[in-house]
Amino acid sequence: TGRAGTGKTTFLRSITRLTHKNTIVAAPTGIAAINAEGVTLHSLFQLPFGAFIPTDELPGNRVPGFEINTPHTLERHMKMHAAKRSLLKKLELLIIDEVSMLRADLLDAVDTVLRRIRGRAAPFGGVQVLFIGDLQQLPPVVKDAEWQVLKNYYASPFFFEATALKDQPPVTIELKTIYRQSDPAFIAVLNRVRDGGLTPEDVAILNRCHRPGFRAAPGDGYIYLVTHNHMADRINREELEQL
C-alpha cells in the first residue's frame, strides 16, 4: 500500500517483469484492469454478478432484486473450459490491483473458485496473493439492498473482511516516498487533504492557484477534471470542433 505517487504501479510492473512465478494481474473493475494491464476478476474467474455469501444457507432476510451466490451455486454454474482450468491450476501468484475497490464477498468468491479448481482446501487453493492499492482512495461499491444481506457476514465491505483472510491476514508493506510530486509544500497539502485535515492555510494556498477565466493555449496539454459527464462532453466536443 501507499498514497498516490509512491510507486505502487511501478512496483507492480517490476514484479510481473522480474518474477519467476506464473503470475496473473487482475482488478475489481474494467478501467482498473486496463490501467494495470490485466483482466477483471469477474472475467478471470467467470464469476456471476451479484452478491456472494460464504455459506450455502441463504439468509432469511433476502431482499428481491439482485442475485445472491453461494459456494454451491458457484460450483454448480461453473462452466470453465480446459485451457482456463489449466491456467488457474498452474497459477502461483495472483496480483490484485486497486484493492480499495475490492469487495469482501468478491474476494471470497475468488477463493471459492480457486479452491474448487485446484482441489486444495488452503486459502485461494494455495495461490500466493499480492494486494496492491490505497484504502483511502475509492471504496467498494455496494448497493443498500445488497448490504442488508452482506452485513450478516461481513463487518464492512472492504476486502480485508473476507472470510478467506481470517486465518492468514495479509502482511502490510507501505511505500512512503512520493515520487509524483517534488514540491514539499504541495505534497504536505495533498497529504492533509487525503487525511481529512485541511487547514485554513492550505485552503489559502490552493486558492492562490485559482485563475478566473483561464483558457489553455492549444497544445498545452492540460487535463480538465469535471464533476459531470455533460461538462466533459462539452469540452471534448469543443476541442474536436477546433481540430
Report the chain's mean pLDDT, rounded to a whole number. 92
| pLDDT above 90: percentage of residues in the chain | 70
- Give the pLDDT of residue 181: 87
Taking the model in full, what pTM does it have? Answer: 0.84
Q: 3-state DSSP call for residue 229? A: helix
Nearest CA-CA partner of 125 in 178, 174, 88? 88
Q: Which residues contact 112 (CB under 8 A, 6 or more apart)?
A: 52, 54, 71, 74, 75
Cell triple for 155: 463487518
Lookup: cell for 212: 478566473
Sign (positive/negative) of CA torsion 175, 177, 181, 187?
Answer: positive
The whole-number pLDDT of residue 61 equals: 59
Q: Residue 238: in which H helix or E strand, if any?
A: helix 229-242
CA angle 131, 134, 140 (to 5 degrees): 85
